[in-house]
């Protein structure tokens, strides 16, 4: 059931101490319903084009709305908590959050995570980003609906990145986001020239082994075929992770398939899903699901048939996918977090990505400082250093 659509908090520099530096015609609201979100569609899309820093696809209205339509239906206690800022009648600020309640803890996190890989806010370049972010933080504190603000995967160069580094607590789970700058290559021949002799030989060996199964083909799938293959790709990815004793919260999300399938049919002028398939004869070998947005292709999911891992089909898929992006005029090919060593061959650089948190109550402080600040980083280090055979053993025990 939807609750009130807007909880207005007017900010007036003269009459209210809560203005926090906002201009006299500035105000903040909290959007909590789908109907109120839909009313923002045109203004949100316009704001995407005028931010201090271009947002990622995960802050686009189309991504957010598709996620809400799939995840915030039926039995759920999760609630939209989108802080919006207007100057006069113009939308100039959006901080897309989700309010969740679990084990007595009320938490605000980026809307659409863990499926949305990068977190950020949107702020028009004509206004003071720090002032509006500070005012939003003050509003969240005064609203008293959450114990902790936990914001994951904040890129160093994002809109909120510098503010987060200066004002919030570091979650000590530092990552890096690798990407390829495709503007470095004028032609596909220039792209091919970046390979050394050994890399070329490896690519030829991979193709030769796959050709033994059948003629190798690489194609962009139309929407209907993309929907069918997304389900298979996710199943194979989960199988591959399970064989290594690994777990990924986004991939194991029960509505993940439905969400990605809904985007395959999305009619949007701002973002486009690109699903590719590498096949050998009539047998699918590997898949990639990406999203093209503002000149960047976000390579969201890569997967291959788990039993063919030793043939390294993913290496060939990466090569073909980047060549396709180059031909289509894509400027940047974002390989997404985490920064795995195998991605180095297809990246020209990487950007720091950090988790941040801010306690809002005493209960939130205990959670933030004890768990997020101490226990979780330690657990993460242990997890990453634990041998694969031990992880598989633990997984089988826990699942039993």
Residue 13 structure tokens: 């520099």
In angstroms, the CA 260 to CA 226 distance is 9
Residue identified by tokens 């029960």 is: 254
Taking each helix axis as running N to C, give the angle between helix 256-264 and helix 61-71, from 0 to 180 degrees, rounded to the nearest 10. Answer: 130
Per residue of the chain (400 residues), give pLDDT as tens: 333 333 333 333 222 234 467 999 999 999 999 999 999 999 999 999 999 999 999 999 999 999 999 999 878 889 999 999 999 999 999 999 999 999 999 999 999 998 999 999 999 999 999 999 999 999 999 999 999 999 999 999 999 999 999 999 999 888 999 999 999 999 999 999 999 999 889 989 999 999 999 999 999 999 999 999 999 999 999 888 888 777 777 787 889 999 999 999 898 889 999 999 999 999 999 999 999 999 999 999 999 999 999 999 989 999 999 999 999 999 999 999 988 888 888 899 999 999 999 999 999 999 999 999 998 888 888 877 877 767 666 665 444 3
pTM of the predicted structure, to 2 decimals: 0.90
Query: Which two tokens mark 140?
Result: 């969240």
- Please, what are the domains in the chain? 9-167 (3.40.630), 178-351 (3.40.630.30)
What is the DSSP secondary-structure string of 193-206?
A: TTS-HHHHHHHHHH
Handedness of CA 200, 203, 208, 211 (dihedral sign): negative
Determine how β-strand 349-359 pairs with β-strand 175-181: antiparallel
At 107 the three-state DSSP class reads strand
């Amino acid at each position: 059931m939807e609750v009130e659509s807007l909880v207005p908090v007017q900010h007036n520099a003269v009459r209210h101490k809560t203005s926090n530096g906002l201009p006299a015609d500035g105000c903040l609201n909290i959007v909590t319903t789908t109907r109120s979100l839909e009313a923002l569609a045109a203004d949100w899309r316009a704001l995407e084009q005028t931010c201090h820093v271009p947002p990622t696809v995960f802050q686009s209205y189309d991504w957010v709305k598709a996620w809400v339509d799939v995840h915030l239906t039926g039995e759920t206690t999760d609630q939209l908590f989108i802080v919006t800022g207007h100057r006069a009648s113009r939308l100039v600020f959006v901080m897309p959050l989700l309010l969740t309640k679990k084990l007595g803890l009320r938490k605000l996190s980026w809307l659409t995570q863990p499926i949305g890989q990068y977190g950020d806010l949107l702020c028009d370049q004509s206004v003071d980003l720090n002032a509006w972010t500070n005012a939003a933080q003050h509003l969240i504190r005064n609203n008293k609906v959450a114990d902790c603000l936990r914001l994951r995967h904040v890129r160093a160069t994002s809109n909120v990145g510098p503010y987060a580094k200066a004002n919030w607590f570091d979650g000590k789970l530092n990552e890096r986001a690798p990407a390829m700058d495709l503007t470095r290559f004028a032609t596909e021949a220039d792209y091919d020239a970046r390979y050394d002799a050994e890399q070329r030989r490896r690519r030829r060996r991979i193709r030769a082994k796959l050709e033994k199964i059948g003629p190798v083909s690489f194609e962009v799938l139309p929407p209907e075929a993309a929907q069918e293959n997304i389900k298979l790709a996710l199943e194979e990815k989960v199988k591959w992770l399970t064989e290594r004793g690994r777990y990924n919260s986004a991939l194991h999300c029960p509505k993940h398939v439905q969400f990605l399938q809904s985007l395959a049919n999305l009619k949007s002028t701002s973002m486009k899903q690109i699903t590719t398939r590498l096949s050998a004869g009539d047998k699918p070998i590997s898949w990639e699901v990406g999203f093209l947005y503002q000149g960047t292709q976000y390579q969201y999911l890569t997967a291959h048939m788990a039993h063919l891992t030793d043939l390294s089909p993913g290496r060939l898929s990466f090569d073909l996918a980047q060549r396709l992006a180059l031909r289509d005029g894509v400027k940047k090919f974002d390989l997404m977090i985490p920064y795995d060593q195998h991605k180095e061959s297809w990246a020209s650089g990487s950007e720091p990505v950090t988790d941040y948190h801010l306690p809002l109550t005493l209960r939130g402080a205990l959670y933030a400082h004890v768990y997020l600040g101490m226990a979780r980083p330690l657990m993460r280090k242990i997890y990453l250093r634990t041998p694969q055979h031990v992880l598989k053993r633990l997984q089988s025990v826990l699942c039993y």
